């Protein structure tokens, strides 16, 4: 690799890792003050736990040679065996294994927003470890691993819309259905305790997302430029349409709406960031702002307590963006990624329905696997150590109960 490419991937990896404290602030500000430190800890502990899991077993399951037809990697790289700068004489293998690690870190962190205010911290750590091995590593292999079966079928996911957002969103739904509602929800008001923290977190996420999406090009090349531009445009469009929808429905354009719209646009453009032209990215972001705005209200109708709208934003936004690749994929952009010609164009670019069908299949498969796998993991954890805190501890606040601290000594 050229030195410029190496530098770009290293910088991109750092940007993705910076998204974790950004996500912690984004979620932390939306939480109640008695649980803010717990939310920060649920995110930050992923920076400590997941890298160890990745080095020990996660990487080899995600990227090892097939031990079965495209389903999961073998154990050749257990404990990072053979993953060093001498493995290929260039350090490229180590570089990309580390970049993938940053995705492994932030994906389970997304789930924390759905289970806010009521999950035991020990149960959270156990969930992150088990989920990283049982759910994340196999699904990552299906899309990005050697001969991954979904990729071989023609499914596209440029930077993790399916593997990260749809997977984490489906997992969130599984856990919250087993965990149950927060005490007092939905009758008791539970507004964000610090919108400045949430806005700051959204800004950090927007900044870090350039590494998330443009870094997925794998080099400092034209596709990285397109992904970089698309990331910015989609987020801007998502913010504007969310605010317009909010103003039309509720009479106010809020700071929380602005932050949520940015994230919705970022989520939706992620799977197609390097496959779409700029105008298509604007449309995808604009659609995400409106669709996700209305999606977050579904929880009140169906009665599931998605505390910080992970399902409504990450699952719905990721699914929307993944499916829309089959509509907007631009062969002039996709061709730079080495995608087979029969899957390089969406419907509006003269392609047939083949790509759209494969996008639907890939997203549904990951959604179902993540939901079922997570439900099984959470059930075992619940039986062994318990998932939910006691009612009295929930009322007191998880900061004091779980961490013996308070976020604000006023």
182 in a structural domain: yes
Residue 52 lies in a domain: yes
The residue ranges of DSSP E strands in 266-338, in sequence order, are: none
Question: How far apart (Å, rounded) are the C-alpha atoms in residues 327 and 392?
Answer: 51
Q: Flag whether 409 is in a domain.
A: no
CATH number at residue 315: 1.10.3430.10
Q: What local confidence, expressed as pLDDT, does residue 38 receive?
A: 98
Question: What is the pLDDT, as a whole number, of residue 69?
Answer: 81
In a domain, 102, yes or no: yes
* 161 domain residue, yes or no: yes
> Residue 379: which domain range?
3-397
Task: Report the sign of the C-alpha dihedral through residues 261, 208, 34, 391, in that order.
Answer: positive
pTM: 0.95
Query: Is 408 contained in some domain?
Result: no
Give me the DSSP letters along 47-70. Answer: HHHHHHHIIIIIHHHHHSPBSSSS
In the block, tokens 């604009």 appear at: 286
Which of these, 61, 311, 68, 31, lies nearest to 193 by C-alpha position?
31
Give the contacts of 189 (CB within 8 A, at least 6 positions apart).
none
Look at residue 57 and tell me if it is in a domain.
yes
pLDDT tens for each residue of the chain, 410 residues long:
788 999 999 999 999 999 999 999 999 999 999 999 999 999 999 999 999 999 999 999 999 887 678 899 999 999 999 888 876 777 899 999 999 999 999 999 999 999 999 999 999 999 999 999 999 999 999 999 888 999 988 899 999 999 999 999 999 999 999 999 999 999 999 999 999 999 999 999 999 999 999 999 999 999 999 999 999 999 999 999 999 999 999 999 999 999 999 999 999 999 999 999 999 999 999 999 999 999 999 999 999 999 999 999 999 999 999 999 999 998 888 765 556 666 678 888 888 888 999 999 999 999 999 999 999 999 999 999 999 999 999 999 999 999 999 999 87
Structural domain contains residue 202 = yes
Q: Is the dihedral of CA 387, 390, 395, 399 positive or negative?
A: negative
Q: What integer pLDDT is reported at residue 342 of this predicted model? A: 66
Output the pLDDT for position 285. 98
Q: At 55, list the tokens.
A: 């080095």
Count of domains in the chain? 1
pLDDT at 351: 82
């Amino acid at each position: 690799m050229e030195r410029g490419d190496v530098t770009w991937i290293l910088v991109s990896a750092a940007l993705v890792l910076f998204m974790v404290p950004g996500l912690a602030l984004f979620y932390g500000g939306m939480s109640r003050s008695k649980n803010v430190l717990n939310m920060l800890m649920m995110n930050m502990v992923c920076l400590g736990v997941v890298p160890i899991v990745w080095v020990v077993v996660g990487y080899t399951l995600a990227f090892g040679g097939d031990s079965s037809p495209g389903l999961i990697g073998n154990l050749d790289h257990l404990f990072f065996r053979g993953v060093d700068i001498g493995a290929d004489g260039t350090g490229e293998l180590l570089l990309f294994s580390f970049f993938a690690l940053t995705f492994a870190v932030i994906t389970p962190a997304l789930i924390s927003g759905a289970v806010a205010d009521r999950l035991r911290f020990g149960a959270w750590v156990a969930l992150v470890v088990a989920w990283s091995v049982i759910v994340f590593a196999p699904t990552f292999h299906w899309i990005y691993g050697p001969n991954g079966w979904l990729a071989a079928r023609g499914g596209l996911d440029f930077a993790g819309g399916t593997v990260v957002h749809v997977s984490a969103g489906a997992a969130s739904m599984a856990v919250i259905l087993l965990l149950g509602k927060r005490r007092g929800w939905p009758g008791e008001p539970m507004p964000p305790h610090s919108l400045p923290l949430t806005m700051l977190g959204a800004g950090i996420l927007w900044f870090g997302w350039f590494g998330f999406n443009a870094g997925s090009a794998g080099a400092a090349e034209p596709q990285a430029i397109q992904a970089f531009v698309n990331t910015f445009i989609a987020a801007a469009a998502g913010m504007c349409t969310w605010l317009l929808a909010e103003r039309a429905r509720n009479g106010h354009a809020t700071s929380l709406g602005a932050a949520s719209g940015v994230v919705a646009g970022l989520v939706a453009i992620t799977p197609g960031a390097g496959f779409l032209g700029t105008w298509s990215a604007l449309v995808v972001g604009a659609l995400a702002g409106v669709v996700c705005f209305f999606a977050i209200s579904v929880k009140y109708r169906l009665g599931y307590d998605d505390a910080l709208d992970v399902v409504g934003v990450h699952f719905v936004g990721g699914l929307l963006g993944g499916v829309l690749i089959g509509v907007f994929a631009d062969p002039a952009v996709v061709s730079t990624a080495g995608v087979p010609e029969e899957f390089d164009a969406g419907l509006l670019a003269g392609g047939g329905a083949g790509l759209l069908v494969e996008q639907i299949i890939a997203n549904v498969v990951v959604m179902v696997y993540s939901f079922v796998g997570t439900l099984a993991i959470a059930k075992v954890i619940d039986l062994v150590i318990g998932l939910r805190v006691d009612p009295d501890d929930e009322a007191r606040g998880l900061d004091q109960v779980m961490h013996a601290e308070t976020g604000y000594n006023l």
